Each structure stands twice: as C-alpha cells, then as structure tokens.
Amino acid sequence: MSLYVGREASKVWKRFCAEITTEVNLLAENWKYLLAGLICQYIHGLAARGIHYFHRPGPTLQDAGFFLLPELGQDKAYVSETVFTFIFLSFVLWTFHPFLFKTKKIYTVLVWCRVLAFLVASQFLRIITFYSTQLPGPNYHCREGSKLARLPPPDNVLEVLLINFPRGVLYGCGDLIFSSHMIFSLVFVRTYQKYGTNRFIKQCSWILVVIQSFLIVASRKHYTVDVVVAWYTVNLVVFFLDHKFPELPDRSGAAFLLPVSKDSWTKEENHKLLNGNSGDPTDRRLRTPVNGKIMEDVNKVDAVLMNGV
C-alpha cells in the first residue's frame, strides 16, 4: 500500500513540476494581460467606492421581485454570500486542476486571460451604468437612518485610493445596476460550460446561478432590474468577445501542443502544431481523413497499386 501511494505521489509531483514549467512559459508571454486585468479589478473597486460618496438614501423603489420573494432579513443575509463564495472558490480551484490531474483540457494562464477580459468588459459597462443614475440602495445599511448610508467627504486622496477593503466592498452603496456578483458568477459558469468536462457540474452550476439570483433579491442587496440586466448584458458580452478572441488550444487530445521551454519550439512551429500541421516545414503532403484515419496523398496510393500489379 505504501509503495503504491509513493508511486502515485511521485507521478503527481512530476506532473505538477511539468505543469509549472509550461504555465511559467505562458505567464512570461501573457503577464501583461493578467496584470492589466487585475489593475482593472482595482479600478472597478475604486469606482464602486467613489459612487458611495454620491449615494443619497431614500425610500425603497417599487420592485416586482420584492413583492414576489419574501425578505430574508439581516440575520440571513449571509446565505447569498455563501452561495457566491462557493461558486467563486469552486471556479478558482477548477482553473488550477491541470497542476494535479492527468486529464486536462485548459491552460490556467490562458483561461484567466480570457476570464479577466470578460470581467473587465462587463465591469466597464457597469461603471458607466451606475454612475449615470444613482438609485437609493435597498440594502439595510443603505437605507435612511443607517450611519453607513452616507459617506463623509474624504480627508485625503489616500482614503479614497485604499477603498477601505474589505469593509468598503461589503458595505458599499450606490453601485446597483448591474449586480457585480452576477457578473462574476455568469462569467465563471459560462467559462466552465465551454471548457469544463463534467456535464452534471455544468447543470448544477446554472442552477446555482439561478438560485443566487433569487437570493440576491430576497436579501434586498439589489433591485430585480440589477439582476435582470446582468443576465442579458454579461451573456451578450461573453458571447461577443468569445467569438472575437482566438480559440484556446485543447489539451484533451494531445498535451504536447505548447512548448515546455522557449528553446525547444519556435513560435512558428508551435503555430503549425496548433493548426494541425506537422512541425517539419518540408512536410507538405496532402492528408485526407477517412473513417478517422489519415491517408497519404494520391500519388503514394497510385504507386502502391502499380507495384501490386
């Protein structure tokens, strides 16, 4: 038993080291995109913090979801956050599964480049929207009488730039249309829908997002319009960008498509591999797939027939 465990642990460690090498090379080529995406996450948080200074509490607006869904109350506000945290952490862990599992379809760096692009585009539209019109927040800490509903003018620029994380994020007001929780959840679920391999998990993921939509409204963290707008806006953004971006390489068929080191393969050779061509530039033979097999060109077939005669 100990021998088996040791052998399997050795395989996992070798797989992990090989994956580290591959991902580091990808990171060296794509770090600018990741850094830009992370900076935009900070800008989004800064914008959400800034709108809080303009927030003015008022009577809660009439909302169809508030009439249809019972109010959970302040003591159960954690329920929706728990569901969101589960979706968030599950997706993050899934993106790093190639480091441990033998069966893999994605490259972690490339997936996160794509995910951050989806998030940034959606958040840019969100910032424009909630700065265009400031609505009175429906959340408990944003209502009239709450000390957190209004923010006093900042004493200095540093107070704004630090965004009072994480309290400023959890108790923000004014950044309503459209829901940031729904942006993350929909981007994550749509990404797994495309690159994930477990059909059951895909179905459960969509069910969780629907449940979260109802919980957000029931917790009075957002108006129903915030959730509805997020559903069609994020899906349209992901659909549009996904068709504009080049398709990610699929690792499920072959794990050698990307180089282990920069010196082992040139970019031109790697491009040929990704497009199904041979790495040898002299190999220009026409190959036609028949019943899942690769046949050589017509001249070779004719030569065989001639020898047979």
The active-site residue out of 97, 226, 271, 297 is 226
Nearest to 120 by CA among 177, 195, 35: 35
At residue 293, the 3 state secondary structure works out as: strand
The pair of three-digit structure tokens given for residue 195, joined into one six-digit string: 């690159």
What are the beta bridge partners of residue 293? Answer: 290
Among 154, 177, 178, smallest CA distance to 50 is for: 154
What are 288's strand-pairing partners? 295
Catalytic residue among 75, 181, 263, 271: 181
Inter-residue contact 137 to 150 (CB < 8 Å): no
Residue 222 among the catalytic residues: yes
Of the residues 97, 175, 222, 243, which is catalytic? Answer: 222
Helix (H) or strand (E) holding 289: strand 288-290
Q: What is the Cα–Cα distance from 193 to 304, expressed in whole angstroms?
A: 47
User: Rounded distance, CA 142 to CA 151, Å?
Assistant: 11
Distance CA 153, CA 149 (A): 13
Q: List, by residue number, the catalytic residues.
A: 181, 222, 226
